[in-house]
Structure formats: structure tokens, C-alpha cells
Amino acid sequence: MPTKSLRALLAFLVFLSLSAAGGTQAQGVAATTPPQITYSDNSGLSFLAIPAKWSVAQKNTYQWFVNGKAVRGATKLAFKATAKQKNQRIQFKEIGSLGTSVSVVGKIGQVIINTNPSVSIVDASNNKVTVLPGAYSPKSAKVTFQWYKGPIEISGAKSSTYVPAAIDEGFRIYVTAKYSAKGFVDNTSDSGEINIPVIKRNYVQVWQDEFNLPAGSAPDSSIWVSENGDGSKAAAGGGWGNRERQYYIPTLAKITSAGALQIDATTTGANEYNCYYKTPCEWISSKYITKGKLGFKYGRIEARIKGPVGAGTWGAFWMLGADIDERQWPWCGEIDVTELVGKSPNTAYGYLHGLLSGGFGGRGTTVDMPNGFANDYHTYAVDWLPDSIDWYVDGVLFGSQQKKDKDWVFDHEFYLVMNLAMGGNLGGPIESGLKQADISFDWIRFSTINGIGEVFKR
């Protein structure tokens, strides 16, 4: 038989274990719903508790607490705080013969949040997420929302529903709810996180140029047209708006015996042309576009490319808005599938240029290529969707941009551009002794993504 002192010790340990449990403290019976505290008027001082719900009926008593201390005589469902107690913590406890349950801890004069907001996917077809604002008091409080992806605020996402962009797939998102009521201090609460499933992308190739014409041929004239000169006669102006050093002519782009399109840049013969920098041209090269022949809207655009060698080279595969004659750059939009710059032979660039970012370096990112872009062919691609653009190298995603403000001017037809520029703002100084460079395109392909994507043949 335990001694009296041992029995007392055991009883004390049981008491400590029950006290440490917190929240609903039950001896075999727990509240199915804890009690809630609400305001009974707009003074911010008058409260009315909503009793807990129990799985088994029991007789209960009540107690109100302010700043963690039981208020003498405050043993009813209703409680009136004093003006001096404003901004102090308040809580309600329900004590039963079989269990105990407590409310949330609120603050006197502040909006009370009894249950936090919650988020759930309500439309599996597009992962549409909606928020339930939870239980709060006073009921007149206005609830506003802000969605987050991890620690990052999702720009413009302030509705009670959110349709995730492709860029959100695989991430966890949540919402912060702000509760505001006249005469009360605002309160905020975060929902739990929810994982946005990755929707499998199904690609169906619907167009391609494999460059399988006879060796020595120019690019297919039903697809491509040469854009010639130094830019002086174009809206971009001399140097194509980038202080480039080359003059484009059509004959430096030819099909090779290996079935690729090679664009050469050379100093040989360049002095036969006059450039915007008031001297004979330093370089000649080629630039081909599909403007007026072929256009694209959304979908996957990809090309297998071997990049140029030498500081000062600037090879690119990119797109411009087909309405460029009516809406000049950057209003027409620019999507750079890849830019391969010789001064950074282990880096591929993927950028957008829109209304806001056009003259400020664009929006996008770069990716490191440990073996460089000039030793072998690599596949560069963009997945262009109505709400996002993603960049890939050799099938690996390395950058994303989401539709979020008026910089997004990518909801219309674009045409393709392939060229090899020399020098300029991005190309930088051309290395001494460099006389020739080239870039090769093995193929260019276009696919729909889950049925999204169009080809326009002119």
C-alpha cells in the first residue's frame, strides 16, 4: 500500500500532467467545440460567451480571466470589462464535472478571432483556392485578404479566392486575413498552408522547322524573312537600340551539310557597308524573323542551339509582338527564349521586356551552364501561358515570371527572331583579334501545352 505522502505525490503529478495539457483539459470527456467569446455591443467592453459543445452532457461552471487572473464574481456567460482593462488579455473557461475547455485568448477592445481562416481547393480543374474567414466578433467586422507563397506576398492577390498560376505549382500558399471594425482595434490571422498540386503538362508538337533543306540553302522563305541593315531605318534606330556593331545581310545564314542553320558574323567584307557610327561597318551578320509569315500565341517554343565563341558575340533566339508596327517596343512586348553572350560563356539569359521593364533591363533570370553553351547543342525553351512564362535549358526549369501588373504585354501574337549580334549594350567590347563567329540552330519547334497554344500562318 502506498504511503500517505506517496499518494499525495502521485496525485500532485497527475494534477501537473492535466495542467500541462492546456486547451481542453478532460478526464475522459473533451469538448467537441471549445467556448467562444463575442462582443454583445459596440463598446468593446461587453462580452457574451458561447458555451462549449460536449460529447457527453455535464454540469458546467464558468470563469472569466483578464491578464491570466480570474476575475472575482465573473462566473456568468456575460461579462463587462472596465475602461481601464482595455487592451488587456481576456479568456473564458468552462469547467465541467468531466472536463474543462477554454476559449482563445483575445484582447479587450480588439476584434476577437475565435477560429482562424482556412483555405481549401474548391475547383480541381484549375486548383482554385478559396478562404473561409473563420469565426470573429463583432460580426460587423470587415475582412480583407492577402495571399502569400511562402514568405512572398503574391502581388494583387487580395480576393477571397485565388486561382494559382503555373508558377505556383508545387508550392505551399496561405492567406493572411485582416479583421477591421469601427471602434475596435484591427486583428490579423494566418490560415494554414495548402500545397498547390503540379498539373502535368502535356505537350503536342504542331509546328517545326528542322532546317533539312539542301546544304548552302537560305532559310525557308515561306517561314523566314531577312531583316537587314544596322537598324537606322527601323524604329529601334542605329545599332538596333543597343549600340550593336554589325550590319545584317541575308547571305550569312545558310543550311549546313549536317542539317542545321548556321548564322555567321564576320569582319570580311563589312567595310563595304556604312554604319550608324559614321565609319564603314566593322561586322556583318544575319538576322531572320517570321514577321508576316508565321506567328505564335502561348505554347512551348524551343530550339536546339550551339552558341557563339568569343567576347563581344551576342547570339539570340527571341520573340517580338506582332503588333510592333502599331505599338512600338516595349509596348509590343519581347520574350527572350535565350540570349548567349560570349563574354559569359557559361551563362544563358531568359528575360521579358514589357511596358514597365523595357528600358530597365527586363524581368527574368540567368542559369549557369557548367560546360558552356558553345561546345555542344543545348535545348532552350519557354512555356508561355496566359498567366506565366517559364524558362528551361535541356528540360530543366530555371526561371519563371508571373502576370501581375501592366508590364505583362504577352497576351497576343508574337513572331520569332534568330540572329547573331556583335558588341552592344549586352554583348560588350569585342575581343581583339576576333574576326569570325557563328551560332547554329539544329531545329525550332512549337507545341501546345494542355491544348493551349496557336500558330498563325500568313
Q: Which residues carry out catalysis?
A: 334, 339
Q: Which of 456, 419, 415, 458 is nearest to 291 (CA)?
A: 415
CA max distance for the chain? 113
- In the numeric block, the cell 505551399 is attached to 172
Residue 150 region, left (φ>0) first, then alpha (ψ -120 to 50), else beta?
left
Q: How many angstroms separate the Cα of 147 from the Cα of each of 19, 135, 192?
A: 37, 19, 12
3 state SS of 424: helix
Q: Which of 207, 208, 126, 195 is nearest to 450 (CA)?
A: 126
Q: Which amino acid is at 3?
A: T
Q: How many residues does the chain have?
A: 458
∠ at Cα 363 (328, 414), nearest 5°?
A: 40
- In the numeric block, the cell 524551343 is attached to 302
Q: How many angstroms separate the Cα of 336 from the Cα of each of 86, 352, 401?
A: 58, 6, 12
Sign of torsion over alpha carbons 392, 393, 396, 398: negative
What is the C-alpha to C-alpha distance for residues 51 and 447, in angstroms, rounded to an integer? 60
47, three cell numbers: 462580452
Q: Which of 419, 411, 410, 384 is nearest to 289 (CA)?
A: 419
What is the C-alpha to C-alpha distance for residues 337 and 367, in angstroms, rounded to an integer? 12
Sign of torsion over alpha carbons 420, 426, 430, 434: negative
**Beta bridge partner(s), residue 69:** 66
The answer to whether the CB of 88 falls within 8 A of the CB of 106 is no
447, three cell numbers: 507545341
- In the numeric block, the cell 545558310 is attached to 254
What is the C-alpha to C-alpha distance for residues 64 and 90, in angstroms, rounded to an integer? 7
